């Protein structure tokens, strides 16, 4: 999407771990990245570059009202979105992706925070994440659809021509076509031979000449 992404802060990813600091820690292949928006936004698109993430879940924190002290509630917009068809191979492991508003399970309106949950069930890769996260709002898309004022104004309506007193255009056109056809026939029948209406074998007959 062209345009400028909204102002936001992407926090460092946090890997989900099971266990405590004393015992062995087990990493189940889940990583969480939070994106804090500068102000509540109606999200149109979330774009990013993948880095060996197989599945993606997106949750948004939405305000239920326009007031700053209004209650906020989490909602799931995207659930287990597949980025890599086979988590064990490199196909699509470093591609760019975009998730659009039309693909989301709920309308991401009045959003203050986006939580992106990444999963990689394969043990082949040492690490996984998503990079270059950008969020675009619906206001950005609407501004791109704005029509310039010089296009939105209707052109002046031209007044019809006054044809009173003029011959019928169809009749004039038909006459011109006949003249053109006749001209073509005459040009095709022309010869370079001399007409010779008065000369006979290079001489003139005196009876054919007129006197004044």
Integer angstrom CA distances of residue 40 from 59, 101, 106, 140, 144: 15, 16, 16, 14, 20
CATH number, domain with residue 139: 2.60.120.260
- Asked if residues 64 and 55 have their Cβ atoms less than 8 Å apart, the reply is no
Whether residue 121 lies inside any domain: the answer is yes
Query: Is 205 a domain residue?
Result: no
Q: Which two tokens stand for residue 58?
A: 């997106």
Least confident of 87-96, 101-110, 121-130, 157-166: 157-166
Residue labelled with tokens 């906020």: 72
- Any domain includes 129: yes
* 165-204 residue pLDDT tens: 666 666 766 666 667 666 666 665 565 555 555 555 556 5
Residue with tokens 């266990």: 19
pLDDT at position 153: 53
Lowest mean pLDDT among 38-47, 136-145, 149-158: 149-158
Structure confidence at residue 51 (pLDDT): 97
Domain count, the chain: 1
> Residue 101: which domain range?
8-145
Residue 183, in any domain of the structure: no
Residue 128 included in any domain: yes
15 domain residue, yes or no: yes
Closest C-alpha to 64, from 77, 75, 78: 75
The pLDDT mean for the chain works out to 80
Bigger pLDDT: 210 or 96?
96
Per the CB < 8 A criterion, the answer to whether 38 and 6 are in contact is yes
């Amino acid at each position: 999407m062209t345009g400028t992404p909204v102002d936001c802060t992407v926090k460092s990813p946090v890997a989900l771990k099971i266990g405590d600091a004393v015992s062995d820690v087990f990493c189940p292949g889940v990583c969480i990245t939070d994106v804090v928006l500068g102000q509540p936004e109606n999200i149109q698109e979330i774009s990013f570059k993948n880095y060996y993430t197989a599945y993606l879940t997106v949750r948004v924190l939405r305000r239920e009202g326009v007031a700053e002290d209004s209650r906020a509630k989490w909602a799931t917009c995207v659930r287990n979105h597949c980025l890599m068809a086979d988590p064990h191979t490199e196909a699509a492991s470093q591609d760019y992706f975009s998730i659009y508003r039309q693909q989301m399970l709920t309308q991401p309106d009045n959003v203050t925070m986006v939580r992106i949950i990444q999963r990689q069930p394969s043990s082949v890769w040492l690490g996984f994440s998503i990079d270059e996260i950008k969020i675009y709002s619906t206001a950005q898309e609407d501004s791109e659809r704005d029509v310039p004022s010089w296009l939105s104004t209707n052109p002046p309506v031209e007044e019809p021509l006054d044809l009173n007193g003029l011959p019928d255009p169809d009749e004039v056109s038909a006459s011109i076509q006949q003249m053109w056809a006749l001209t073509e026939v005459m040009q095709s029948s022309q010869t370079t031979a001399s007409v010779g209406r008065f000369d006979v074998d290079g001489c003139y007959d005196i009876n054919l000449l007129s006197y004044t």
